Structure 1
Amino acid sequence: MIGLARDVDRLPPYEQELTAAQRERVERLLAGPVVSLHDHPIRLPDPLTPQTWAEQSSAGTDRLGHAGLRASGLDVVLASSLADPDQQRLLRWAARLREDVDPDGPRVLLALEDLGSIGTDLDGIVDLHAAGYRSAGLVYNTGNALGGGLGQAHDDGLTSLGREAVAVMNGLGMLVDLSHVGDRTSIEAARSSSAPVVITHAGARACWPSPRMKPDDVLRAVADTGGVIGVEAAPGSTRVHGRPAHDLDAVMTHVAYIAELVGVEHVGLGPDTFFGDHAGLYAAAGWAPVPVPGHEDVPLPDHVAGMENPAEAPRNAACWLVRHGWSDADIAKVLGVNAQRVLDAVLR
């Protein structure tokens, strides 16, 4: 049996200095709604090695971190599978994870990162929706038959099949996620959609020049649909120019930038975290971080202090926003009001 990482107290708590009155505000704000637009709330293997990761992946035995989720303050979490080209494997993963949902925990909505698994068969979207998926990345980094990915040298835009896919998702009541989509394809998909679209996990390229971050015109295109941008905290992602650390302050700098750019009504949280050694997963799974031009030598952090896992992210974000003088109304929007508005508008 593969050992699993602890989903509570794996690392010491991240401390922020607040007054008693500020702590009362945080507790009141965490009463909800609190929504994660994107997480992988499963417990990673411990120890995490290429062998244990391969065993867990091949066995399909992902287990939710029930104690961590109950402690998180989350009301809703979009629990994402990893990008996978195998449609049948995605359907099996959905069935197993739905069986593992804790009725006393937050509402779990299933998500996937890439519709590449459908090939050119749009009925595959219907099958994914029937299996329980309520959010799907239109395209992953390397692109697919629907459009261009953010990792491609050239993005030719949303294909005719991609336009049909957006229409199918709109009709089913399924979130169109542009997190890993190329810039041109993202803008064209947003304009094609009859419903709000989302970026469930990314950040602002103006803060950090990674292709994983989104330029201002893409952020505006999503906001123009009434959608929301979830800011992520995967190790090495939402860094900030001139700051060596990737930590809570860096992540929340992206939140503040996007709120200023498109309005606080269009920003939320999509931490993109696991229960376990997320940074170690890159090595165990053999994943290479998306290269950042001019910053290829910046090392991956051991963990993102303050945003390391799905349990601590909402509370620490709330504390940061309170400390930095945000109003209760604006904090509530970031924590979940915005995301819940979009879920209510899109899901059937």
Structure 2
Amino acid sequence: MKKKAYNGYKSFQYLESGKDYKPYPLAKEINRVEPFNYPVNDSQEQEVQAILEEEYIISLHEHTFVCPEDVNQIFEFRRQGRDWTGYEGLSVSGLDVVFENFMDGTALITSQAGWKWNDVIHDLGIRYSDFAHQDMVVRAHTLEDIERAKKEGKIAFVTSLESATQIENEIDRVDVLYGLGVRVMGIAYSEGNSLGGGLKEDPTFGLTKFGHKVVERMNKLGMTIDVSHCNDRTALDTIEASSKPIFITHVGARALWNTNRMKPDNILKACAERGGVIGIEAAPHTTLTEKHIEHNLESVMEHFEHCVKLCGIDHVSFGLDTLYGDHVGLHHAFANQLSIGDSHKGQAFDEVAYVEGVENPSEAYINVVRWLVDHEYTREDIRKVMGQNILRVLKDTWVK
């Protein structure tokens, strides 16, 4: 597979380790766990490589940061306010566009709870400073930026935030975030906020009057809306309130796995009927199924096929929600802060150490393409779910 235009740069190598920042041993970006290549024959692999070369491969939701090797160091690591990006791993991922969601739910510089305005701005600025010192990642503010990155063999990063909690009750902060490059934003995370209800809230807690104003402002600005972590009422209210299509960037079907984190069929259909796109999730212990009770690529793809049958091939994509490091351990560390118990409340499951086949960004999207080729999806359908569906929504929602 052709690699991206990567010159070996590591995050913050323009600074002096131990003097300008405290160093931490970081997780491997490549081969942290046993590599998994979805099995295909030689002719299928040729088609896979042609797709990776010729088509847009887009992740609708990712965290490309590199976790400390010892996940127990994560709190002091995050308080430093400096995250490393997995450039080496991304260079072999096949990805052309990443909707980068940073780590603002765990931004702990000034608080114990995350989602504080100053911490979010700090987090964006530090990462942007790092991006400015390398030449593989392009910050994408427009569709033209995305097209340019693909032509140049680089990766376009679309700045995204999982929640609008940090704007508090200040609607003009949405404009500020847009000015700082944010092009996709969620309404709420697990906890409710001034806009609406998150996954752990009363299911009758819907979009507030202020939330309606924010939806209208995001539509006017050209910032795409995400409802992945909203409760059902807020998700439906947002879909109905938005004059433009929205994303559910990383999710699965509750019909297959009955937990709060998954969305019921009526919400998935409502999103699609308004022109939106659903990104299939693969973070540990989310997109399980009764048929594939051990979380792996097969269970993820069962959610994909359910959503395709329900909503149509034009409204499904992938936001696998991976990172570099021990994702399961990270969930354990932040279980209370991220309300993971509330998100996964419902069916019991046996924990896995990692999600085989989609453990990290380097292998996840290539394996998805292999699976699609092996299951005889047409090139046109693969084009849609791997990128074109997402680009269509951006054309409808971003500034022309």
Q: Does 1:183 align with 2:206?
A: no
Tell me which residue corresponds to 1:145. 194
Mapped partners of 2:167, 2:346: distance in 1: 36
Mapped partners of 2:346, 2:286: distance in 1: 15
Q: Does 1:87 align with 2:117?
A: yes
Q: Displacement, 1:257?
A: 0.6
Mapped partners of 1:215, 1:93: distance in 2: 33
Tell me which residue corresponds to 1:338. 389
Tell me which residue corresponds to 1:113. 162
Which range moves more in the overlay, 136-145 or 281-290? 281-290
Partner SS state of residue 201, structure 2: coil
Tell me which residue corresponds to 1:295. 347
Partner SS state of residue 362, structure 2: coil
Given that residues 199 and 231 in structure 2 are in contact (C-alpha distance below 8 angstroms), is that contact kept between their aligned partners in structure 1? yes
Mapped partners of 2:393, 2:89: distance in 1: 25
Q: Does 1:103 align with 2:135?
A: yes
Q: Does 1:46 align with 2:98?
A: no
Q: Deviations over 1:1-58 (max 9, x none)?
A: 1111111222222132211110011111112201111111010001221xx2012211
Q: Deviations over 1:135-182 (max 9, x none)?
A: 111111221111122221333321111111001111111110000011
Mapped partners of 2:71, 2:313: distance in 1: 38
Alignment of 1:1-348 (within 5 A): 1-31=23-53, 32-49=55-72, 52-82=73-103, 83=105, 84-101=114-131, 102-105=134-137, 106-287=155-336, 289-291=340-342, 292=344, 294-296=346-348, 298-348=349-399
Q: Deviations over 1:275-300 (max 9, x none)?
A: 1110011223344533545524x233
Call closer, same or farther: CA 1:266–1:290 in 2, change over 3 Å. Answer: farther
Mapped partners of 2:265, 2:346: distance in 1: 20
Given that residues 211 and 290 in structure 1 are in contact (C-alpha distance below 8 angstroms), is that contact kept between their aligned partners in structure 2? no
Runs of 4+ in 1 over 4 A off after TM superposition: 291-294
Mapped partners of 1:269, 1:276: distance in 2: 20
Mapped partners of 1:236, 1:213: distance in 2: 11
Q: If the length of structure 2 is used for normalisation, what is the TM-score?
A: 0.83
Q: Which amino acid aligns with 1:99?
A: S
Q: Displacement, 1:81?
A: 2.6
Mapped partners of 2:353, 2:260: distance in 1: 22
Mapped partners of 1:204, 1:306: distance in 2: 20
Which range moves more in the overlay, 54-63 or 247-256? 54-63
Call closer, same or farther: CA 1:345–1:99 in 2, change over 3 Å. Answer: farther
Structure 2 unaligned blocks of 5 or more: 1-22, 106-113, 138-154
Given that residues 38 and 357 in structure 2 are in contact (C-alpha distance below 8 angstroms), is that contact kept between their aligned partners in structure 1? no
Q: Displacement, 1:222?
A: 1.0
Structure 1 unaligned blocks of 5 or more: none
Call closer, same or farther: CA 1:283–1:150 in 2, change over 3 Å. Answer: closer
Given that residues 98 and 158 in structure 2 are in contact (C-alpha distance below 8 angstroms), is that contact kept between their aligned partners in structure 1? yes
Given that residues 148 and 158 in structure 1 are in contact (C-alpha distance below 8 angstroms), is that contact kept between their aligned partners in structure 2? yes
Mapped partners of 2:198, 2:165: distance in 1: 11
Percent of residue pairs bearing the same amino acid type? 37
Call closer, same or farther: CA 1:293–1:9 in 2, change over 3 Å. Answer: closer
Mapped partners of 1:162, 1:60: distance in 2: 29
Q: Displacement, 1:309?
A: 0.8
Q: Deviations over 1:188-226 (max 9, x none)?
A: 111111111000111111110011101111111111221
Q: If the length of structure 1 is used for normalisation, what is the TM-score?
A: 0.95
Mapped partners of 1:284, 1:43: distance in 2: 15
Given that residues 235 and 279 in structure 1 are in contact (C-alpha distance below 8 angstroms), is that contact kept between their aligned partners in structure 2? yes
Mapped partners of 1:38, 1:53: distance in 2: 21
